[in-house]
A and B are shown apart, each in its own frame.
Chain A
C-alpha cells in the first residue's frame, strides 16, 4: 500500500471526501489547485495540514466563488440543492439544460475542489453542502415539518387533504406530508385555489428568499381555535396547507419541494448559459489617447492644487472624522473643480497617502510623503496615484453619495477596508482590454458582462454591479487609463505590461516640465506647460500666480519679492534665479523692483524682547554683558547703550543687583518705579497706609479716602451718639479713666472730650469706653489724614536734655516721625501731646498737635522731655 493511500485511509473517518482528496494531492495536482485558487498560496501555508484547513475554510471558498462566472455558480448551487452524493444527471435536470455546458462547469468546480466526482455521484465540499438557502430555496419539507408538533401536523394534513389512518407516529406523518408536498401537481393545484393574497405570497416566496417574517397569527396557525380572521391571513392560509411551514416561531418558510414545484421544477427562472456580449461601436483610439492624456494631466495638477491648498488652508474635519459637504465645497471652489471631482480627488489623494486626517488638530492636511510627490515628475506622480488607486481597499467614489439616511458619505473618512474593489478594478480593466482599443464599449453592456463573469465579486460592495462599474470607470477615466468606452494606450500598457511600462508611456507623452519661463517688463513671468517642481516652488515664493491653465502667469510685486527676502533669499539669489531660469533675460523693471525691495528690506527691524536695559555709557553695557550673573538673562546689545533681555524685569533687576550694579526700575514714561519693602500686618490685611508700589498705594489711598468720606458724613451723628453714650455712662466709669502722664484732669465736659481722650495713655477697664476710644482715635486720625512715612530706625530713648531733644526733633522732622513731648505752655500749664514736627528753627520747635491739628510753637527750653512714637503708636494716627 502506498503511503498516500495509508494516510487517506487513516483520515477517512474524519475528513469529508473533497477535503480528503485535497489532502491526497500529488505535486502536479497541488500545482493546478494553487493556480485556480491562488489565495491558498498567499501567504504560503506552513504545512500541508494548514493548506487543507485553509482550503476547507468558508473564507477561501468565498474567494473562490468570487472568481466563478454566473453559470458556474448556478451549477454549484444546483449541486447544493440536489445534495451531497447525488448524480450529476440530477444537477442537469434541476437546471433544465443540456449536458455539455454543465459538464464543463462541473469540471471547473471540480478543478477548484468545490465538488468531486466519484463515478456518477457528485461529492460536495462541506461549505457547498451547507450552503444556506441555495437558489433562494428553503429547507426540505421533512426538515421543516419535523419542527412541528403532531397536533400541528395533523392540522396540515387536514388542510392539504392527506388522510391519516390514525395512530401514526410523528415521523410517519412527516413522511406522508413530505411525500404529498413533493407532488408538484398537488402543490400547484392547492396554490391555484388559494385566495389572492396567499397566491401572491406563495409566488414571492417561491422566487426566494423563502422566508416570511410575520409573527401575527402564526402562533395559532395550526390551532383549532384559530379565529376566522387569523385563518384568512395569507401566511396562515398557506401554513394550514403546508405551502409554508412555521419556522423558528417568528417566521414561516416555504419548503424546498414546494418552491421547486411552483418554479415548474426549474431551479432558476433563467439559466445564464450564455455570456453576454459587449455592445460596441467603432472607436477612435487617437481621440481616446488625446482626451485621456488631458484628463491625466488635469488630475495630476488638480491633486497638486488640492494638496497645496490644504497645506495653506487646512480643512476642518467633521466631529466623527471625514470632510463634510461644506469643507468640500470650499475646497472645490478654491481649487477650481466641481464638488464631485474634488470629493473623488480627495479620496484618491488620501488613498495615495498625500492627504491625511490630523487628529491632534482635527484637520485634513497634506501628509509628510506629499512633499516627495510634489517634487516628482509627472510620470512618477501619475504612477503613484494609479498604484495607490489599484491597491486601495475602499470605494473612492462612495464619498459624497447619499447613504441610507440621505446624508452624503463624507470624504476622507477611512471606510472599513473591503477586498472586492481591488479585484473589481483589475477585472474591469482586463475586460476593457479584451474588448480592444479600436471599439467604443457600451458601459451598460460591460456591466452586464461583468455581472456574468464575476457576479459575486461585483455585487460585493455598497451598490449594484452597474454602479460599481460606473464608479470604477470614472476613476479610471480621471487617471487617464481610458475614456469614451476604451482604454487609452496608457491604460492598455498598464494591463498588459504593468505599471512601469504605463509610466513610460506617460513619460513619453506628458509635456516635459520645463525649468524656464519668460520674464516681461510688466513684471510677469509666463510659463507654458508645467514647470519643474523646485523651480515652480521658488517662483511661487517670489511671485503671485495670476492665471493658471495650460500656461501659468505669475506676477511680481513688492510684496511677493519681499516674501523671498523673508524666506532668506538675498537680492543676488533672486536675480541669479531669475536670470538662470528666465529665457529672455531679466527685464530692467524687474531687476529694479528686486533692488528696491532689497534696499528697503530690513530698514526697520523688529524682534522679541521682554524688557530692556538702558545704560549711561557703552562701557557699562559691555560690563553688564560680560558679567557672569547676567548670563542667564539672554541680554543682547541692540544699540551702544541699549540692551534687551528675554527675561522679566524683576529677574533682570535682581540679577543686575546681584552682579553689583545699581539698576533703577523705570516705567513707560521713564519715571522711577519705587519699590519699598513690604510691611506685614496681622489680621491678613495690608498696612492701612504706607508707600507701597505705585498702584497699590493708589488703590489703598482710594480705599482710605472712601473710608474718610464715609467717616466725614457720619461724623456728626457719631459724635452725637458718642456724646449720648458718654452722658449716659455712670460717673464712676468715667472716673476710672486715668491719664498715664497724670497731667490731665479727667474732665468730662463734652467740649473738651476729644482733646482729653486723644492722649494716648488713657487706660480704661470699661470695654465700652475702650471701643469709644478706638472710635475717637479713628475719627481724629481721619481728620488729620496724614501719610505716614517710614525711614531709618527710630530711637527708643527719651530725650530730656535740650540738645538731645533738639536732635530728636530734628531727626523726627527729617524722617517724619511723630513725637510725644511734654512741655510747659505759656509758662504755666504742663501739657503732654503727640506732635508732628514741622521745623526746628531759632531754638523753637514748630509743631502740629495731632489731636487738634493746631499748629503750635514751643521753645525748646520749654520741652521737658520728648520721645519718638513707635510705629505701632504712630499707626493710630493714620
Chain B
C-alpha cells in the first residue's frame, strides 16, 4: 500500500479511493483496484488532476447531471463511492450527491401534440420556482396546466441555459428534427478505433453532446462517424480555414462524399453544400449589428452540427446554437476547460459530455505518441534583466518571453533535433521573436499573415519531410494535422492559457511510424513572469499526468 494511515480494523483490503468532504475524490493510481475504481467514478466525476501517484477527481453538479443524463442514478453513484472508498464516505457528500442528482429531470422539455414545446414538471414547487425566475419568465409561454407550461420553440436553448444556471437542469426529451437526409458512409477501408467507435455510439444514442479526446486521438474520425450515423445534411464549424481544408480532405478521403458535396464557407469562398464547413470567424463576423453569415447558415435544414474544438466556441455561436436546439449537435474537444468559464453553456447548449478518455490511457494503448515534456529555464543576462525590470508592467511579459537569451537555447534544441532527424516545430506567440528565430535558423515562418495557399504549401512540405523545421505562430495551435512533427519547442505562450499548452503538445502526439517518443520543450525566462505563466500553463498537462522535467539552459548549452 502506498498511502500510509491504515483505517481501524484493517482486516479487509482498503479501497483505492478517499472521498473528501470538499467533494474531491483522491484515487491512488498504484492500487490494484485503481482501474476498476476509475472506470466507476469517471462516469460522474471530472478528472481534475492526474499527477503521478494520486489523481484528483471532483464531483460537480455538471458532472453529476452528465451522469444522470447518461442514465446513472444517485444510488449507483453513492454505491460506487461506498464500494471503493477506503474511509467512511462523509455523510454530507452522499446527501449532496443525492440532492444534486435529484434536481435533474424534475423538469422535462417535451413535445406536446397540441401545445408544441412544453416544460413539464414532476415537482410542482420546482416549476413554480423557475417560472418566477427573472431569467426564465421571458422564455416561457402560457401555463397549460399546473404542471405544464408552454415554451417558445425558439427559446429552447436559452431556457435550458437559464435552468442550469438556476440549478434545475431540464431533461430535453423534445427530440430532434432529422433535417434533410443526405447519405454519408465511411469508406470500407476506414476502421474506427475502439474508443472512437464507443464515442460515436454514445453520441448517436443521445443525439447531442460532447466527446472529449486528446489531441492526436482522431477526433475528426469521430466526427465522420457521427455524420455517417446521422446521414443528413451537416454543418461543421471549425476554428480556421486551414482546419476547414483539412476536414474537407479527410471527408473526401474517408467517406463516400465527393468534392462537390462539400462546401466551404469561409472568408475566401462561401459555398453552402450538403456538407458545409464554416469557420468560427465567418459565422461571427458582424455587419451593422447583424451576423449575416450566421443567418444564412441558420436557415439551412441541417440534420447535424459538428463543433470542432468546442472549448473555443465564441459567444455568438452559442447564441446560434441556442436557436437550433432541435438539431443534433456534436462537440469535439481535447479539454472541457474553458478559459472563460462557460462550461455550463457547453453543457446546456451543445449537450452533456458523452465520452471521455484520459490521455495517458490512449497513449498506453498506442493511439497517441508518448511524450516527454521539458521546461528549459534560461537565465537572462544582466542587461536583459535590467530591461525587464525597467519595462512597463503591461510590457513585462513580452520583454521576458521574447528575451534574446532564448535564441541560443532554441538553436541548440533545433540543432539536436534536426541532427536526430526529428521533424521540429518552433511555436511562439510573438511574431517579431518568431521572425528572429526563423532568420537565425534559416527556416520558414508561418503566421496569421501568411496566405492560406502558402500555409498549405509549407504544411505539405513539412508532411512530406521536405521541410524539417517550421516556425509557427499560434495559428498552428488548432486543427492542423502535422502527423510527423515529433519535437515542439515553445518559445512563448499566450500568458497562462492552459488549453493552449495542451493544444501545442497535441501537435506532436500523433503516433509515430516507429513509435518513438515526442519531445515538447517549453523555453522559459527564469525569474520573470514568463516563468509564472509557464507554470500556470503547465498545470493542465501536469494534471493530465505529463510531468515536466526542468532543465537549466546552461547545462543544455554546455
Name B5's contact: one of A530, A584, A589 (CB within 8 Å): A530
A756 at the interface (CB under 8 A from B): no
Contact B547 A521, beta carbon cutoff 8 Å: yes
B516 at the interface (CB under 8 A from A): no
B interface footprint on A311-337 (CB within 8 Å = 1, 0 otherwise): 000000000000000000000000010
Within 8 A of B (CB), among A505-559: 508-514, 516, 518, 520-522, 524, 526-530, 547-551, 553
Contact A293 B8, beta carbon cutoff 8 Å: yes
Contact B54 A520, beta carbon cutoff 8 Å: yes
Of B45-53, B131-139, B401-409, the one contacting chain A is B45-53
B527 at the interface (CB under 8 A from A): yes
With a cutoff of 8 Å between Cβ atoms, the chain A residues found around residue B4 in the complex are: 512, 514, 516, 528-529, 583
B interface footprint on A578-591 (CB within 8 Å = 1, 0 otherwise): 00000110011100
Show 19 A/B contacts (Cβ-Cβ < 8 Å), sorted by A: A518-B3, A518-B53, A518-B54, A520-B52, A520-B53, A522-B51, A522-B539, A528-B3, A528-B5, A528-B26, A529-B4, A548-B21, A549-B20, A549-B21, A550-B18, A550-B88, A550-B90, A551-B26, A553-B26
**Main DSSP-derived SS at the B contact region:** loop
With a cutoff of 8 Å between Cβ atoms, the chain A residues found around residue B527 in the complex are: 600
Chain A CB count within 10 A is highest, among B20, B24, B86, B539, for B20
Contact B5 A549, beta carbon cutoff 8 Å: no
Contact B548 A589, beta carbon cutoff 8 Å: yes
Within 8 A of A (CB), among B4-50: 4-9, 18-22, 24, 26, 28, 49
Total residue contacts A-B, CB cutoff 8 A:
104
Contact A527 B5, beta carbon cutoff 8 Å: yes
With a cutoff of 8 Å between Cβ atoms, the chain B residues found around residue A509 in the complex are: 8-9
Q: How far in angstroms is the closest Cβ of chain A from B227? A: 38
With a cutoff of 8 Å between Cβ atoms, the chain B residues found around residue A249 in the complex are: none
A744 at the interface (CB under 8 A from B): no
With a cutoff of 8 Å between Cβ atoms, the chain B residues found around residue A592 in the complex are: 550
B56 at the interface (CB under 8 A from A): yes
Distance, CA A183 to CA B163, complexed state (A): 81
A290 at the interface (CB under 8 A from B): yes
Name A549's contact: one of B6, B8, B18, B49 (CB within 8 Å): B18
With a cutoff of 8 Å between Cβ atoms, the chain A residues found around residue B549 in the complex are: 588
B291 at the interface (CB under 8 A from A): no
Q: How far in angstroms is the closest Cβ of chain A from B513? A: 30
Contact B22 A529, beta carbon cutoff 8 Å: no
Chain B residue at minimal CB-CB distance from A290: B88
Q: How far in angstroms is the closest Cβ of chain B from A531? A: 8
With a cutoff of 8 Å between Cβ atoms, the chain A residues found around residue B18 in the complex are: 528, 549-551
Distance, CA A563 to CA B24, complexed state (A): 27
Contact A547 B20, beta carbon cutoff 8 Å: yes
A interface footprint on B526-558 (CB within 8 Å = 1, 0 otherwise): 010000000000010011000111100000000
With a cutoff of 8 Å between Cβ atoms, the chain A residues found around residue B53 in the complex are: 518, 520, 526, 584
A294 at the interface (CB under 8 A from B): yes
Distance, CA A400 to CA B400, complexed state (A): 58
Chain A residue at minimal CB-CB distance from B89: A550
With a cutoff of 8 Å between Cβ atoms, the chain B residues found around residue A553 in the complex are: 20, 24, 26, 56
Within 8 A of B (CB), among A469-525: 508-514, 516, 518, 520-522, 524
Contact A529 B8, beta carbon cutoff 8 Å: no
Within 8 A of A (CB), among B254-295: none
Chain B residue at minimal CB-CB distance from A519: B53
Q: How far in angstroms is the closest Cβ of chain A from B542? A: 4
Distance, CA A509 to CA B10, complexed state (A): 9
Q: A521-B548, A550-B87 are in contact. Are A529 and B5 (CB under 8 A)?
A: yes
B2 at the interface (CB under 8 A from A): yes
B interface footprint on A105-122 (CB within 8 Å = 1, 0 otherwise): 000000000000000000
A interface footprint on B447-458 (CB within 8 Å = 1, 0 otherwise): 000000000000
Q: How far in angstroms is the closest Cβ of chain A from B377? A: 8
With a cutoff of 8 Å between Cβ atoms, the chain B residues found around residue A513 in the complex are: 5
Chain A CB count within 10 A is highest, among B21, B26, B539, for B26
Chain B CB count within 10 A is highest, among A508, A509, A520, A583, for A520
B interface footprint on A423-452 (CB within 8 Å = 1, 0 otherwise): 000000000000000000000000000000
Distance, CA A518 to CA B51, complexed state (A): 11
Chain A residue at minimal CB-CB distance from B56: A553
Q: A528-B18, A528-B86, A548-B22 are in contact. Are A518 and B2 (CB under 8 A)?
A: yes
Contact A548 B3, beta carbon cutoff 8 Å: no
Distance, CA A293 to CA B76, complexed state (A): 26
With a cutoff of 8 Å between Cβ atoms, the chain A residues found around residue B26 in the complex are: 526, 528, 551, 553
Chain A residue at minimal CB-CB distance from B532: A558
Q: How far in angstroms is the closest Cβ of chain A from B543? A: 6
Q: A290-B88, A522-B51, A522-B543 are in contact. Are A336 and B21 (CB under 8 A)?
A: yes
Contact A551 B20, beta carbon cutoff 8 Å: yes
Distance, CA A547 to CA B49, complexed state (A): 13
Distance, CA A583 to CA B54, complexed state (A): 12
Q: A522-B543, A526-B54, A530-B5 are in contact. Are A550 and B20 (CB under 8 A)?
A: yes
With a cutoff of 8 Å between Cβ atoms, the chain B residues found around residue A583 in the complex are: 2-4
Chain B residue at minimal CB-CB distance from A520: B51
Contact B5 A521, beta carbon cutoff 8 Å: no
Chain B residue at minimal CB-CB distance from A506: B8
Distance, CA A811 to CA B86, complexed state (A): 101
Distance, CA A528 to CA B6, complexed state (A): 8
With a cutoff of 8 Å between Cβ atoms, the chain A residues found around residue B54 in the complex are: 518, 520, 524, 526
Contact A512 B24, beta carbon cutoff 8 Å: no
Closest 9 A/B residue pairs (Cβ): A529-B5, A549-B20, A514-B4, A528-B3, A550-B87, A520-B51, A521-B547, A509-B8, A522-B51
With a cutoff of 8 Å between Cβ atoms, the chain A residues found around residue B543 in the complex are: 522
Q: How far in angstroms is the closest Cβ of chain B from A381? A: 16
Distance, CA A512 to CA B550, complexed state (A): 36
Q: How far in angstroms is the closest Cβ of chain B from A584? A: 6
Contact A588 B6, beta carbon cutoff 8 Å: no
Contact B7 A511, beta carbon cutoff 8 Å: yes
Distance, CA A744 to CA B283, complexed state (A): 106
With a cutoff of 8 Å between Cβ atoms, the chain B residues found around residue A551 in the complex are: 3, 18, 20, 26
Question: Beyond the given A524-B49, A584-B2, A584-B52, could you list 16 further A-B residue pairs with CB under 8 A, ordered by the A residue number?
Answer: A293-B8, A511-B6, A521-B52, A521-B542, A522-B539, A527-B3, A528-B3, A547-B22, A548-B22, A549-B22, A550-B88, A551-B18, A553-B20, A589-B547, A589-B548, A589-B550
Chain B CB count within 10 A is highest, among A336, A553, A583, A600, for A553
With a cutoff of 8 Å between Cβ atoms, the chain A residues found around residue B51 in the complex are: 520-522, 524
Distance, CA A516 to CA B4, complexed state (A): 7
Name B20's contact: one of A511, A548, A587 (CB within 8 Å): A548
Chain B residue at minimal CB-CB distance from A595: B550
Q: How far in angstroms is the closest Cβ of chain A from B391? A: 19
Chain A residue at minimal CB-CB distance from B546: A521
Contact B548 A510, beta carbon cutoff 8 Å: no
B interface footprint on A832-852 (CB within 8 Å = 1, 0 otherwise): 000000000000000000000
Distance, CA A524 to CA B53, complexed state (A): 10
Q: A520-B51, A527-B5, A549-B90 are in contact. Are A588 and B22 (CB under 8 A)?
A: no
Distance, CA A509 to CA B8, complexed state (A): 5
Q: How far in angstroms is the closest Cβ of chain A from B62? A: 19
With a cutoff of 8 Å between Cβ atoms, the chain A residues found around residue B21 in the complex are: 336, 548-549
B interface footprint on A863-877 (CB within 8 Å = 1, 0 otherwise): 000000000000000
With a cutoff of 8 Å between Cβ atoms, the chain B residues found around residue A587 in the complex are: 52, 547
Distance, CA A791 to CA B98, complexed state (A): 94
Chain A residue at minimal CB-CB distance from B14: A528
Q: How far in angstroms is the closest Cβ of chain A from B407? A: 23
Chain A residue at minimal CB-CB distance from B548: A589
With a cutoff of 8 Å between Cβ atoms, the chain A residues found around residue B22 in the complex are: 547-549
Distance, CA A589 to CA B547, complexed state (A): 8
